[in-house]
Amino acid sequence: MFENLSERLGASLKRLRGSGRLTEKNIQEALREVRMALLEADVALPVVRDFIEQVRERALGRDVMQSLSPGEEFVRVVRDELTHVMGDVGGELDLKVTPPAIFLMAGLQGSGKTTTVAKLARHLKEKHKKSVLVASCDVYRPAAMEQLETLAGEVGARCYRGEADATPVAIATAAVETARKRACDVVIIDTAGRLHVDDAMMSEIKVLHEAVHPVETLFVADSMAGQDAANVARAFGEALPLTGVILSKADGDARGGAALSIRQVTGKPIKFLGVGEKTDALEVFHPDRVASRILGMGDVLGFIEEAEHKLDRKQAQKLAQKIKKGKGFDLEDYRDQLRQVRSMGGVSSLLEKLPGGGQLPAAAQQQVGERELIRSEAIINSMTPLERRRPLIIKGSRKRRIAAGSGTQVQDVNRLLKQMMQMQKMMKRMKKRGGMGQLLAGLKGGGGPGMPF
Amino acid sequence: MSAKKTEKRPLFGRMRQALQRTGGALVRGISELFPGQRGLDALTLEEVETLLLSADVGVEATERLIAELKQTGGGRLREAEDVFAALRAGMLKILEPVSQPLLIPVREKPFVILMVGVNGAGKTTTIAKLARRFQNDNLRPMLAAGDTFRAAAVEQLQVWGERHQVPVVAQGTGADSASVVYDALQSATARHYDVLLADTAGRLHTQSNLMEELKKIRRVMGKLDPEAPHETMLVLDAGTGQNALAQAREFHAAVGISGITLTKLDGTAKGGIVLSIADKLGLPIRFIGVGEQPQDLRPFDAEEFIDALLAH
């Protein structure tokens, strides 16, 4: 796999240097690379073709900006175009109707509809202060209704349970009626997974749609989907007047080219991304970030936002102050750092967002995995405050006590202390260069273009 | 040519029908490329490459196939059918070695199958179909409800088990999955069941803690039967794109995959990714899922698969 598009384009773009503008001839090879990159990212072929044409048109005759190399300029054109195609804004949900606002979910089997219903319910409840009622019209899969009921309980949504032998339409209409009676703001109707080529099932959902007239008809698709994503999206788009798309399982390492295919084929905005197992793992879709990800450039913006959102600013400031004053970085600080990294979903989730980070060998990711963080924290927790402030006093017998207290081995304690020493050295160097200070100042100041990323 | 082949070896209706959707596009595309006599020039090769890529075959496997087409001789491949035959041979060379049926040997203790895969790949559905298959073969299957994470996953298996008289060992949502599987293996051994099918929660291969959990399930089983699990089956959704290769690689690295089941081939998904996986990892492919019915889980057969894939 290629590290990222810029690197991949490197060879073919070297020749572009020296020429002041992008011409048909000198972008030929680069366009081929883009094509391959998109195909590797699972963008559907017809979509790739259209896209390449658009990029060609836009890139041709374009003056290369002073600050950028022709290669960078080309990548910029590609990225802008990708962002543009993906929809310039992530659409919001339409809640401006007489309640209850009815949402209908649709998608293939295993695309993540039910989990998404729970995430949406929680999102509506927490971000929009809406009361939500959910109902499952999946009369086929065993225990599908129990699944939704359990999830609804977890996220604090009401759940309408249909009769055992009720039809999907009967369940949906009764759910809407219940929502109206109980003055719920939103009712989300979950449906059974269905194949787009299954005529009977597709007409079932059409009938369902006509029966409840949803304000939002959301197509849930797996972001790991391949070339077929375009066919599936087209079929669902033709059967139902979709209002938006939700991409599930976007927390894996798939490039997510399906996003582009689906967006292009349906013409409907991608509204959310499902990014984890938990019910709060729903993110508003940002076209630019997914564009970067498809191109393998990492979701730097997402990283910054997440860091901003979750990092404890006061703590960061405290640490920055401390380092500035020339005081050492001690184990207390180290523990704080460990906790913050964990609260952001572990090192691997951070790495994924950085350019090239997703391609780190699994072994390397393992080394800095969740377990390691927990273990390190346990070791530090087993120390006395004095030991944490002055790690140098930790010798043989203290080490044995700490290892026993944290359920680890003396070697683990040694490793942690060694890491600590390395961190201290790094901090000293950073202080000299002002790197860490800048980084923390950046976080403090709300990110923005000054970030040293 | 392919039509004759099909007549000679009538394929199972459903599978052919299902895979034709896949094959149709591919062949139509190639035929369009070769109107009458045309050499296998660079441009054509690029188009063949494109076609394979759009069937989710993957860059690596595609390149290997293309290289072979080139080798088979640019000069001789004049007709579309020649290219077609050469391509078929090339694909067969990759898939034949991995076309290995799952054989359940006669043994004292239960034959344990551990099902793994990402969320929504079709693990539970495949377990149900496999259990029915074993029942038909006069084997007694038992199920372990190891998906203790997803809401109502345990109930899903239990409801199904009751319907088909298959015992399900479960502890409930939130329980330790390894402990459920351990209990199940103990019970299956004591009650002399032939096959134990262990379900697990779907997990993305990038979640290291959940991959560790799988390793633990494996380890714990080993305490009761050092050889268990006898089959670690990765369930792959045919609709998955290039990420399926990463899935196979990571699951294999974590728990050692011994067989693959490719589900949801009854849609329009190409499933071409198996070529890529076979090419890179050489993992045996056991079954393909081509429908909702138990009999729609069929043993994978390379020739049938490719014939159907390339059939008009």
Could you tell me how far CA B266 lies from the centroid of its own chain? 13
Query: Which of B242, B270, B309 to mutate: most A Cβ within 10 Å?
Result: B242
Res B19 pLDDT > 60: no
Asked if A370 and B209 come within 8 Å (Cβ–Cβ), the reply is yes
Measured between CB atoms, does A68 come within 8 Å of chain B? no
Q: Quick one: pLDDT at residue A430?
A: 62
Task: Report pLDDT digits (tens) over A152-172.
Answer: 999 999 999 988 789 999 999
Q: Tell me which architecture the domain covering A101-297 has in CATH.
A: 3-Layer(aba) Sandwich (3.40)
Res B75 pLDDT > 50: yes
Q: Judged by CB atoms within 8 Å, which residues 107-136 of B form the interface with A? A: 118-122, 125
Q: Quick one: pLDDT at residue B36?
A: 46
Measured between CB atoms, does B56 come within 8 Å of chain A? yes
Of residues A209 and A276, more confidently modeled:
A209
Q: B118 contacts in A (CB within 8 Å)?
A: 224, 249, 252
From the DSSP assignment, how many helices (H) and strands (E) are in chain A? 21, 8
Q: Quick one: pLDDT at residue A89?
A: 63
Q: Quick one: pLDDT at residue B222?
A: 92
Residue A52's alpha-carbon distances to A30, A322, B132, in angstroms, are 10, 52, 49
Measured between CB atoms, does B270 come within 8 Å of chain A? yes
Q: Quick one: pLDDT at residue A420?
A: 82
Is the CB of residue A379 less than 8 Å from the CB of residue A413?
yes
A1-29 residues labelled b (16+ CB within 10 A) or e (exposed): bbebbbebbeebbeebeeeeebeeebbee
Q: Quick one: pLDDT at residue B67?
A: 83
Among A190-194, A277-281, A348-352, A387-391, where is mean pLDDT lowest?
A: A348-352
Peptide bond into B229 cis (omega under 30): yes
Q: Quick one: pLDDT at residue B12?
A: 43
The angle, 0 to 180 degrees and rounded to 10, between the axes of the packed helices A410-433 and A435-444 is 90
Is the CB of residue A325 less than 8 Å from the CB of residue A452?
no
* Cα distance between residue A220 and residue A111, in whole Å: 6
Q: How confident is the model at residue B211 (pLDDT cuts 50, 70, 90)?
A: very high
Task: Report pLDDT digits (tens) over A94-148.
Answer: 888 888 999 999 999 999 999 999 999 999 999 899 999 999 999 998 889 999 9
Q: What percent of chain B clears pLDDT 70, i.e. is strictly above it?
A: 81
Residue identified by tokens 């906790």 is A339
Q: How far away is chain A from the Cα of B189, in angstroms, using its nearest Cα?
A: 28
Where does residue B37 rank: exposed (0-12), middle (13-18), buried (19+ CB within 10 A)?
Answer: exposed
Query: Which of A190, A198, A227 to mutate: most B Cβ within 10 Å?
Result: A227
Q: Quick one: pLDDT at residue A221?
A: 96
Res A282 pLDDT > 80: yes
Q: Quick one: pLDDT at residue B26?
A: 53
* Cα distance between residue B64 and residue B41, in whole Å: 17
Structure tokens at A296: 């393998």
Q: What percent of chain A clears pLDDT 70, i.e. is strictly above it?
A: 72
Q: How confident is the model at residue B32 (pLDDT cuts 50, 70, 90)?
A: low
Res B9 pLDDT > 50: no
Q: Quick one: pLDDT at residue A389?
A: 85
Task: Report pLDDT digits (tens) over A214-232.
Answer: 999 999 999 999 999 999 9
Measured between CB atoms, does A204 come within 8 Å of chain B? no
Of residues A243 and B310, more confidently modeled:
A243
Of residues A34 and B118, more confidently modeled:
B118
Nearest to B260 by CA among B103, B125, B131, B99: B99
Q: Quick one: pLDDT at residue B190?
A: 95
Nearest CA in chain A to B21: A197
The arithmetic mean of pLDDT across residues A308-334, rounded, is 66
Q: How confident is the model at residue B5 (pLDDT cuts 50, 70, 90)?
A: very low
Asked if A228 and B239 come within 8 Å (Cβ–Cβ), the reply is yes
- Which of 3.20.20.220, 3.40.50.620, 1.10.260.30, 3.60.130.10 would CATH assign to domain A311-444? 1.10.260.30
Measured between CB atoms, does A365 come within 8 Å of chain B? yes
Among A363-372, A406-415, B19-28, B199-208, where is mean pLDDT lowest?
A: B19-28
Res A1 pLDDT > 60: no
Asked if B56 and A224 come within 8 Å (Cβ–Cβ), the reply is no
* Cα distance between residue B278 and residue B48, in whole Å: 20
The arithmetic mean of pLDDT across residues B30-41, rounded, is 52
Q: Quick one: pLDDT at residue A350?
A: 60
- Which of 1.10.260.40, 3.40.30.10, 3.40.50.12280, 1.20.120.140 would CATH assign to domain A5-85? 1.20.120.140
The arithmetic mean of pLDDT across residues B190-215, rounded, is 93
Domain edges within chain A: 5-85, 101-297, 311-444
Is the CB of residue A74 less than 8 Å from the CB of residue A9?
yes
Res A433 pLDDT > 60: no
Q: How confident is the model at residue A339 (pLDDT cuts 50, 70, 90)?
A: confident
ipTM: 0.84
Q: Quick one: pLDDT at residue B134?
A: 94
Q: Quick one: pLDDT at residue B248?
A: 96
Q: Which helix (H) or strand (E) holds A179?
A: helix A168-181
Query: Which of A2, A39, A273 to mutate: most B Cβ within 10 Å?
Result: A39
Res B218 pLDDT > 80: yes
Residue A173's alpha-carbon distances to A134, A185, B257, in angstroms, are 12, 16, 46
DSSP A301: H
Res A198 pLDDT > 90: yes
Task: Report pLDDT digits (tens) over A287-296.
Answer: 877 777 777 6
Among A192-201, A215-224, A228-237, A417-426, where is mean pLDDT lowest?
A: A417-426
Mean pLDDT of chain A: 80
- Report the amino acid identity of residue B221: M
Structure tokens at B228: 């268990």
* Cα distance between residue A292 and residue A289, in whole Å: 5
DSSP A420: H
Is the CB of residue B130 less than 8 Å from the CB of residue B113?
yes
Asked if B240 and A41 come within 8 Å (Cβ–Cβ), the reply is no
Structure tokens at A438: 């800048």
